Chains A and B, each alone.
Chain A
Amino acid sequence: MAVPARGGIPARTILRGALIGAIAILALLPVLNQLPAESALRVSDFTVAVTGKWICYGVLALAIDLAWGYAGILSLGHGAFFALGGYAMGMHLMRLIGPRGVYGHPVLPDFMVFLGYRELPWYWLGFDHFPYAILMAMVVPGLLAFVVGLLSFRSRITGVYFSIITQAMTYALMLAFFRNDMGFGGNNGFTDFKELLGVPLNTQGARAGLFYAALALLAASLLLCRYVVGTKLGRVLVAVRDAENRVRFLGYSVTSFKLAVFVLSAVLAGLAGALYVPLVGIINPGEFAPGNSIEAVIWVAVGGRGTLVGAILGAFSVNALKTWLTSFAPDLWLFVLGGLFVAVTLLLPHGLMGLFRKVAK
Chain B
Amino acid sequence: MSKPGLYLDGVSVVFDGFRALNNLSLVVDPGELRAIIGPNGAGKTTMMDVITGKTRPTAGTVRFGDRDLTRMDEARIANLGIGRKFQKPTVFDALTVFENLELALKAPRDPLSCLRWALGSAARQRINGVMEETGLAARAGDPAAILSHGQRQWLEIGMLLMQDPDLLLVDEPVAGMTDQETEHTAALLRRIAGTRSVVVVEHDLEFVRALGGKVTVLHEGTLLSEGSIDTVQNDPRVIEVYLGR
Contacts and interface: CB of A to CB of B under 8 A. Distances in A.
Contact of B104 (A228, A245, A250): A250
Contacts of A235: 95, 99, 102-103
A3 B96 contact: yes
A248 B72 CA distance: 12
Nearest to A227: B115
Contacts of A84: none
A245 B92 CA distance: 11
Interface stretch (B106-114, B189-197, B202-210, B214-222): B106-114
Contact of B74 (A233, A238, A248): A248
Contacts of B92: 238-239, 242-243, 246
Contacts of B153: none
Interface stretch (A252-260, A294-302, A348-356): A252-260
A123 interface: no
A231 interface: yes
Contacts of B110: 253, 256
A119 to B, nearest CB: 42
B193 to A, nearest CB: 20
A242 B78 contact: no
Interface in A214-258: 228, 231-233, 235-236, 238-239, 241-243, 245-246, 248-254, 256-257
A66 B167 CA distance: 36
A168 interface: no
Contacts of B91: 243, 246
A360 interface: no
Count chain B CB atoms within 10 A of each CB in A241, A243, A246 and give the residue with the most: A246
A115 interface: no
Contacts of B84: 249
Interface residues of B, number: 32
A9 to B, nearest CB: 15
Nearest to A306: B94
Given A249-B78, A251-B75, A238 B109 contact: no
A250 B115 contact: no
B79 interface: yes
Nearest to B119: A232
Given A228-B115, A231-B117, A238 B79 contact: no
Interface in B67-87: 73-76, 78-79, 83-84, 86
Interface in B5-50: none
Tell me what chain A mostly uses at the interface: helix, strand, loop, or mixed.
helix
Contacts of B159: 250
B103 A242 contact: no
B114 A231 contact: yes
A252 B84 CA distance: 14
A3 B97 CA distance: 12
A254 B114 contact: no
A2 interface: yes
Contacts of A249: 52, 54, 74, 78, 83-84, 86
B93 interface: yes
Contacts of B83: 249
B163 interface: yes
Contacts of B60: none
Contacts of B111: 233, 236, 256-257, 260
Given A243-B90, A256-B111, A232 B78 contact: no
A20 interface: no
Interface string A195-209: 000000000000000
A18 interface: no
A213 to B, nearest CB: 27
A1 B102 CA distance: 18
Contacts of A253: 75, 109-110
B90 A246 contact: yes
A233 B103 CA distance: 9
Given A233-B114, A236-B114, A248 B94 contact: no
B143 interface: yes
B94 A251 contact: no
B94 A238 contact: yes
A15 B243 CA distance: 62
Count chain A CB atoms within 10 A of each CB in B78, B79, B83, B103 and give the residue with the most: B103
B66 to A, nearest CB: 20
B45 to A, nearest CB: 13
Nearest to B81: A251
Contacts of B79: 251
Nearest to A253: B75
B103 A239 contact: yes
Count chain A CB atoms within 10 A of each CB in B54, B83, B99 and give the residue with the most: B99
Interface in B148-190: 159, 163
Contacts of B90: 243, 245-246
Given A239-B103, A242-B94, A260-B111, 11 more contacts: A231-B115, A233-B111, A239-B92, A242-B92, A246-B86, A248-B75, A249-B54, A251-B76, A252-B75, A253-B75, A254-B75
A-B pairs, top 4 by smallest CB distance, nearest first, are A251-B78, A248-B74, A233-B114, A232-B117
5 contacts: A231-B115, A236-B103, A238-B92, A242-B93, A251-B79
